[in-house]
Amino acid sequence: MNTTRKATISETIVKRAFIDSFKKLDPRIMVKNPVMFVVEIGFIVTLILTFFPTIFGGESEPIYNGMVSMILLITILFANFAESLAEGRGKAQADSLKKTKQDTKARLLQKDGSFKMVSSTELRKGDMIIVEAGELIASDGEIIKGVASVDESAITGESAPVIKESGGDFSSVTGGTRVISDSIKVRITTDPGESFLDRMINLVEGAKRQKTPNEIALNILLVSLTLIFLIVCTTLVPISSYVGVAIPVATLIALLVCLIPTTIGGLLSAIGIAGMDRVTQFNVIAMSGKAVEASGDINTIILDKTGTITHGNRMAASFITVEKVNHGELTKAALHSSLHDETPEGRSVIELAKKIGVSETEIDVNGSAGVEFKAETRMSGTDFSDGRQVRKGAVDAVKEYVKQQGGSIPSDLEEKTKMIAMEGGTPLAVAENNRILGLIYLKDTVKPGMKERFDELRKMGIKTVMCTGDNPLTAATIAREAGVDDFIAEAKPEDKIAVIKKEQAEGKLVAMTGDGTNDAPALAQADVGLAMNSGTIAAKEAANMVDLDSDPTKIIEVVAIGKQLLMTRGALTTFSIANDVAKYFAIIPAMFMVAIPQMSALNIMSLTTPQSAILAALIFNAIIIPLLIPLAMKGVKYVPMSSTKLLNRNLLIFGLGGVIVPFIGIKLIDLLLVLMNLV
């Protein structure tokens, strides 16, 4: 798996973000963020007042207007910088992908069987190409003939090549990857500009990032609050005139900017972009922000057994002796039978023997010859120079071998063979010369740490369902060991769709992983479908996420990132709105306490002058945005707990913190302004 995922903020990204923050001042861009667009209008008005103090009637101070104007500009730039910084990491990855995408030559197969060298831009869906060892695959496609080792490091970051072959779930190939060995015939499945690499570039650049439903709903709330405070500030003009107070236009704008939710308004886009970027750091390409967000609300996860929950290879779990055979004798014989067996199951026998305590001196192939497994004999083993023969294999095959050697069959062999089979395991008999010593219990072992991971999901309130083609007995054994909540045995593709629909009918959101064509309908039905990059084109097109590492357990990380995205957005929204309380106590008394001395009772922070109070609140409103950028980018740490505890925790930290921090910050800035004689 690619381990170089930690995204860093390089000097290049910061410089690009700084330049982009000025480019985003374009009103056509700013209008897409209504809250910050209102701040920009306020900046323009106060800038005009700086040079033409009496343009709107009444008296105003140019220096004060200029300071307000400058602070508003900085506020907008900080908000733009946050968004540009989040986009910058995606653009950096896109630049890397663009280097991978190049105009390569392809050997196009003609109708008469001849070849024609063409550019990759000339290839169309349905074309047939031949790719030889050392050549780049020109475009996305499916292998229809041959098997080859393919280097996908340019896309996945994984240096180890993968085996691709025709006719299975590992037949899809991606443009820009390189064939390491052999020759393959590929049918092109995309037209120019529509390849997987093209889609990745668009997605990580954020060029086609769609706002998610929750983000749209929050935007509507922010716009509504902005309109409400705009009306409030507008009505203050006749009210203040009635009591004989003249409120400068710059002060009204400062009040409006401080009361509208500028903090979350400036960080909202950055939070969404950073959420998708965090998924990308895990080598998962999300086809939309909606998919990332939906993963945070998942209630049920459907997981395949083989390769996801279990290793997928039968591994030695224990050695079971028969009759009066010594356990150490069986262990040693089992190890000797596997000395020349390079299969995963053969290696697991040696590992188990070593774990039990067999001496390293026994693992010596000198003076021995391996006997390969054959379909006819259904056995493998080792012949030693001293004439000793050790075999392991199917129980009936080993029984026949021992009979031919003149040996007898242990009386309890059949009973112990059935016991292993009933537990869902595979029994292999071990014989030395004409004696059967016992059985190797092979089982598809659960991956380390899976039980703990499922416990973590349970704490999140997520139900896990294992799907397997195994019989119910084997499925129950694996489900119990893995710690999943439920399982479906002897599962067919339609069974997966049925369980997804059943969960969705109960109002739940469902996620699943898959890699085969038969998984495509279920991936499309699921709210979050994570397809493996090693899988078929059909699976990748049906899913709304693709895992470049082809690790099915990645869905667990994706769910955690989705929850982190929702938590971050909620936490910063809470903090932003709570901020307004402190700013209210700073600006409202400052506006009226000269004309209405009784208003000074609300000046609980003892701010020095009306101007220092307003400027302090406005400066705090600006600088809190860059201070929160790291949190928006990294995300609020998610700890599995009940929703009630989570709500109370966030209200305590971000709600109460959002009220207290501005009181402290505004007072310190007020003292600093006075100290520097700026007011």
Binding-site annotation: residue ranges for ATP: 341, 345, 373-380, 392
Number of CB atoms found within 10 A of residue 250's CB:
27
Give the C-alpha separation, 648 to 663, whole Å. Answer: 22
How many C-alpha atoms does 86 have within 13 Å on its Cβ side?
30
Give the C-alpha separation, 431 to 252, whole Å. Answer: 93
Q: What distance lies between CA 542 and its chain's CA centroid?
A: 18
Polymer length of the chain: 679
Residues in the annotated binding site for Mg(2+): 515, 519
304 noted as active-site residue: yes
Beta strand ranges found along 543-624 (DSSP E): 545-547
Give the C-alpha separation, 411 to 398, whole Å. Answer: 15
Closest CA to 264 of 570, 661, 22: 570
> In angstroms, what CA-CA distances link 160 with 1, 34, 534?
9, 48, 13
Q: Which residue has the tokens 């349905």?
A: 126
The catalytic residue among 20, 304, 444, 470 is: 304
| Sequence-distant (≥ 6) Cβ neighbours of residue 276 within 8 angstroms | 90, 203, 206, 209, 286, 289, 292
Residues in the annotated binding site: 341, 345, 373-380, 392, 515, 519
* 511 and 147 Cβ atoms separated by less than 8 Å: no
Give the C-alpha separation, 581 to 578, whole Å. Answer: 6
Q: What distance lies between CA 445 and its chain's CA centroid?
A: 26
Pairing mode, strands 105-109 and 115-119: antiparallel
* 371 and 397 Cβ atoms separated by less than 8 Å: no
* 574 and 218 Cβ atoms separated by less than 8 Å: no
* 345 and 445 Cβ atoms separated by less than 8 Å: no
Structure tokens at 133: 């060892």
Which residues on neighbouring strands pair with residue 130, listed in sequence order?
Answer: 107, 185
Give the C-alpha separation, 206 to 87, whole Å. Answer: 7
Residues acting as catalytic residues: 304
